Every structure is written in structure tokens, then in C-alpha cells.
Amino acid sequence: MARRYRNQQCNQPGFGSSDAGPPGGVVLADHYIVRRTALDVDALYSEEADSPYYFQGGFNVAAMVAMAAGFAAVMPGFLHKVGVLPTMSKALVVAYDNAWFVSFFIAGAVYSLLRLRRGVEVKRQYSRATSYSY
């Protein structure tokens, strides 16, 4: 059984690529949609509980839920491809065939909805009018 699973897994690029989609969707949604490119570098490396990057006990639950949603969206197609589910909707198979994109956008959308619903205070470290001289 393990050999059958491994052989089918190696021949199916969809699920192997879906592991990069959800984290990428969460990271980019957090940076561009939720925080609107405001990055507080000092707070990013802070372990203080009041840091904007500390979340709930040091874990970003919204990000975990969003990544699980991204993985769950392509899991039925994967199970169909390896033969666990004999019949499957064509839409779910197409979603699996495009697993990276589907999981990326679903995770990004779920994360954005969860974080924006709670309200995020965006603190800019630098003013946009700041000129940098090197």
C-alpha cells in the first residue's frame, strides 16, 4: 500500500505543489491586503505579548485556519487521483490539477476575511514621504 501511494504521489504534481500555495497566500494576503504593506521590523522580531505579530499565545490561529482551508480544497481531488474516492466531481478534480493556485487564493481569501473581520491596527514604521539617502 505504501509503495502504491508513493508511486502515485510521485506521478501527481498537484498535491506536492499544494503545500506551497496556502502559506504563500497567507503571507502575501497579510502583507498586501491586511497590513497594506506596513511592516514594523522591530515588532516583527519582538517576543513581547503586545507585539502586533504575537497573535494568540504566539500562534496565528487565523493563518492556521486559512492554510487548512487551502489544503482541504484540494484534498478530495487528491484522494480521487490515488484511488481512495472512486467517483468525484469534475470541478474538484480540476481544482486538484491546479492545486497551487486554488489553495493559494482560498487560503489568502480566508485569511483576509478572518483578519479584517477582527480589525487590524496598522502601524507604519516609516512615513511614505521619507526620503532615503544612501
3 falls within a domain = no
133 falls within a domain = no
Q: Is the pLDDT of residue 25 over 60?
A: yes
Rg (CA), the chain: 19
Instruction: Yes or no: say if 80 and 93 are a contact pair by the CB < 8 Å rule.
Output: yes
How far apart are the C-alpha atoms of 107 and 73, rounded to whole Å? Answer: 9
3-state secondary structure 52-65: CCCCECCECHHHHH
pLDDT attached to residue 112: 95
109 falls within a domain = yes
Instruction: Yes or no: say if 102 and 21 are a contact pair by the CB < 8 Å rule.
Output: yes
Residue with cell 490539477: 97
Burial of 39 (0-12, 13-18, 19+ CB in 10 A): middle
Compute the average pLDDT of residues 31-43.
Answer: 88
92 falls within a domain = yes
pLDDT attached to residue 132: 46
Average pLDDT of the chain? 81
Domain that holds residue 102: 17-118
66 falls within a domain = yes
pTM attached to this predicted model: 0.76
127 falls within a domain = no
129 falls within a domain = no
pLDDT attached to residue 82: 87
Instruction: Yes or no: say if 6 and 83 are a contact pair by the CB < 8 Å rule.
Output: no
Based on the structure, what is the number of domains in the chain? 1
93 falls within a domain = yes
> How confident is the model over 39-95, as pLDDT tens digits?
888 888 888 888 888 888 878 999 999 999 999 999 998 888 888 988 888 898 888
